[in-house]
Chains A and B, each alone.
Chain A
Amino acid sequence: MKKLELVCPAGTPAALRAAVDSGADTVYLGFRDATNARNFPGLNFSRPELEQGIEYARSKGAHIYLAINTFPTAGDPEPWHKAVDDGAALGVDAVILADIGMLDYAAQNHPDLRRHLSVQASASNPEAINFYQDAFDVKRVVLPRVLTVPEIKALHKEISVETEVFVFGGLCVMAEGRCSLSSYVTGQSPNTNGVCSPACDVRYEDEDDGSMVSRLGDFTINAFAPGEAAGYPTLCKGRFVANGETSYLFEDPVSLNAASMLSELQEAGVTALKIEGRQRGKAYIAEVVSSFRKSVDGMESGAEVENDLTQVAEGQRKTAGAYQKTWR
């Protein structure tokens, strides 16, 4: 069985070097604009930074995937087309795309540039995946975080493209690429603007009793008791009152950690493991990537290496997410 590929995030050149030095096989990243789904202030790569990043990765035997995984603005696809053109010219190893028009553009104009289907396309069944392969010669699909391990195994019997699955990091509600919660409150979404719950709409306030309130736009979305671990200020991770009870209605602030399931994922047919977190600092990247490097290498010798990444996890808690569905 082929060794699992470790695909790691980078939001800055320093994070890219940290990922490569910590054992990433591949680093995925985006340009500093709305063409990617982590369009955060001060984050991402200029063209010269990408060029230097590719050079650094190559010198250490690592690959670079360029995420161009937002949906172009109607009537203005130019920045997205330019991102594909520039990525191809600079020599990225693959582009990660979500939009059908963008896949068509890349296939027509850069037929030799490897195309991966982003999780933002939300392709989770054989019909959808085979369509993307037939129409745009997609080589790999990043699976949405909605499938159990047996479902991934069953899926592999009906597709012939590679699959990449998330193994660590923040989770989204199960409608990736179609979620409108952020745009409902702020007018901006990860799908078109590349930003979920934009920082300019987020406010934190410390209360006199030591609790902290987080607000998104005009909405109060959470209140953390003194000392209680916090999460991201997204509407899906807000705590709301329903039927007289305050609780997380959509999802808890908790990080995915599938470190104990790597062998199962490999046996199910998975090619690559993805770590979420292009918005995180280089300390997170170094810690998480080196931990998963040890786990993947440990598999070769038959030893499954557990990790303890609770301190860097959202809400300082972990879950196996949809890989082990217990809610239905």
Chain B
Amino acid sequence: MFPSNGKPPPLSPVLLAGIAARPVSPRLLQPVLDHVMKLLGKQHPDLFERLSCLSDPTFLIDPIDLPVVFHLDANPERTYLEVSRSIERPAAAVIRGPLMTLLDLLEGRMDGDALFFSRALAIEGDTEAVVALRNAVDDSGIDLRGDVLASFGPFAKPAHRVLGMGGRIYTRMSRDLDMLKAALQQPQPKGPQA
């Protein structure tokens, strides 16, 4: 599956986790996505109102460092997010980038145009649909971590601690992988001249 666009994904903990999880069926993730979409609909009811100008609000979201893609149908009457290994299903637009970049965009931490200028984000297909989705998401104030954790009720606190620990491990791994990458890319010292 990945890289789905022919370009190598960045070396990151997400890439390693994706490789490790490859034998697992992505369908196991589906109940989590259903839960997330239900939460988003409840906590950000006007999220999809800004997309009402679109005739076909369907998107293929492709995290290039994971062996799966997400199909989003943002039509208010049948909103769903589905995980799959297949990129064949038609969508009005494709949004492609590393998972953490896509999450930064979703939660409004990074500007979509800036990511596009830097080429960290690639889009294909209906540009109008992508622009409308970006604007709707940017306005909605989604806090995925906060929204999901809040839904855990009494388990929110321990879940928050676990997530915090995961975040620290991710940061450390990212640093180690950057170091590994730099070491692998450095020029080899020349041997003694014969």
Is the beta-carbon distance between B51 and A202 smaller than 8 angstroms? no
B residues with a Cβ closer than 8 A to A are: 5-7, 50-51, 53-54, 108-114, 116-119, 122-136, 138-141
Whether B123 pairs with A204 at a CB distance below 8 angstroms is yes
Chain B positions within 8 Å of A287 at CB level: 111
Question: Considering only CB atoms, which chain B residue lies closest to A255 in the complex?
Answer: B117
Tell me if B's interface is mostly helix, strand, loop or mixed: helix
Task: State whether A199 touches B128 (Cβ < 8 A).
Answer: yes
Interface, chain A (partner B; CB < 8 A): 11-15, 40-43, 198-200, 202-206, 208, 210, 212, 224, 227-231, 233, 253, 279-284, 287, 311-316
List 10 interface pairs A-B (beta carbons < 8 Å), by A numbering. A11-B135, A41-B54, A42-B51, A204-B124, A204-B127, A206-B5, A206-B124, A233-B127, A284-B113, A316-B118
Partner of B116, one of A198, A230, A311, A313: A230
Chain A: which residue is nearest B96 at the CB level? A206
Whether A229 touches B118, Cβ cut-off 8 Å, given contacts A13-B139, A42-B136, A280-B113, is yes
Q: Is the CB of A42 within 8 A of B132?
A: yes
Shortest distance in angstroms between B109's beta carbon and chain A's nearest beta carbon? 6
CA distance A265 to B6 in the complex (A): 49
Whether B122 lies near A204 (C-beta < 8 A) is yes
Closest to A288 in B: B111
B111→A280 contact, CB < 8 A: yes
Find out whether the CB atom of A40 lies under 8 angstroms from the CB atom of B118: no
Chain B residues, CB < 8 A from A253:
117
- B110 proximity list for chain A (CB < 8 A): 281, 283
Which chain A residue shows the least CB distance to B135?
A42
Give CA–CA (A214, B136) in the complex, Å: 24
A203 proximity list for chain B (CB < 8 A): 124-125, 127
Q: Compute how far the CA of A153 lies from the CA of B53 in the bound complex, rounded to whole angstroms.
A: 45
Which of A199, A202, A204, A312 sits near B111, CB closer than 8 Å? A312
Inter-chain CA distance A11–B124, complex, in Å, is 23
Contacts of A280 in B (CB 8 A): 111, 113-114
